[in-house]
Amino acid sequence: MVTSFKLSVCPHDTAKNLLGWFTLNTYLQRKLGAGIHFEPQDSFLVERQAVLDDSFQVVYANPYSALVFARGRGFVPVARPAGVKDETLVVARAGVAVPDVPRIASATDKLIIHDLGLQVMRREGMNLDGASFKFVGNHLNVAKAVLQGEADLGFVFNETWAGMNASTKSELQVVGESHDGTAFHCFMVAREWADKREAIQGILCGMHLDPSGLRVLEDLKFERFEPVGEEVLAPLEKLIGV
């Protein structure tokens, strides 16, 4: 019998504002009337495996992890931040022609940004036959690899691109960009908490109407959460090709 409930959050998000996620967890506990232990991780691969191996009841997952958690542990999406989507920009060095058989830098092939990048290249008619991939760990390293001539193209997360300074952007050119809107981070609830799904969804999606909830949202730079369900998983499965 589970006596200690747990929350896990994508490390990309905790790296930006760890305290804000602790505050959200406190808010969720108070509204739900249940104790929830928040266990942040530094690595998304470690975090993903922890959720698969252990008993977590609530997760805030990146798109790739969301699909893994749904298939591996029966998690169901319940809410997502409104207007926040995961997209990919395919970048090259400014003024440099892309060769027919490019070297491509990507953070990892275990995040949706990689799959979106491949899709953009196909849409733009860019050649993937014979292309080589260099996995560099994070999206800033992708830009660095392109700028240093270690890669001809790079798959950059739209949020990372938005945070880059103007001088770095001026040295890069965007040769393709996804606008799918099918990939985004979301809250999910475990199968064992099926009886609490509606309550959790209501709490999250009502935060912007509650002054204390609105403060938490503002700290995390979200406007509000909106409800989602299992229908958001099918486009991810199609994108990843499973």
Q: Taking a C-beta distance cutoff of 8 angstroms, is the pair 44, 13 a contact?
A: no
Q: Tell me how far apart the alpha carbons of residues 120 and 139 are, in angstroms, rounded to a whole number.
A: 17
3-state secondary structure of 126: coil
| C-alpha to C-alpha distances, 114 to 111, 175, 240, nearest whole angstrom | 6, 15, 9
Q: Taking the CA atoms of 11, 81, 163 and 175 in sequence, report the sign of the dihedral they define.
A: positive
Q: Tell me how far apart the alpha carbons of residues 2 and 151 are, in angstroms, rounded to a whole number.
A: 48
Give the pLDDT of residue 1.
43
Residue type, 25: N
Closest CA to 133 of 147, 158, 149, 150: 150
Question: Strand pairing of 225-227 and 76-81?
Answer: antiparallel
Q: Taking a C-beta distance cutoff of 8 angstroms, is the pair 47, 8 a contact?
A: yes
Percent of the chain at pLDDT > 90 equals: 89
Residues contacting residue 197 through CB under 8 Å, at least 6 positions apart: 76, 78, 189
Give the pLDDT of residue 3.
54
Model-wide pTM > 0.75: yes
Closest CA to 15 of 140, 118, 109: 140
Domains of the chain: 5-84+182-240 (3.40.190.10), 88-177 (3.40.190.10)
Q: Tell me how far apart the alpha carbons of residues 115 and 166 are, in angstroms, rounded to a whole number.
A: 27
One pLDDT digit (tens) per residue for the chain, 242 residues: 445 699 999 999 999 999 999 999 999 999 999 999 998 998 989 999 999 998 899 999 999 999 999 999 999 999 999 999 999 999 999 999 999 999 999 999 999 999 999 999 999 999 899 999 999 999 999 999 999 999 999 999 999 999 999 999 999 999 999 998 999 999 999 999 999 999 999 999 999 999 999 999 999 999 999 999 999 999 999 888 65
Cα maximum dimension of the chain? 61
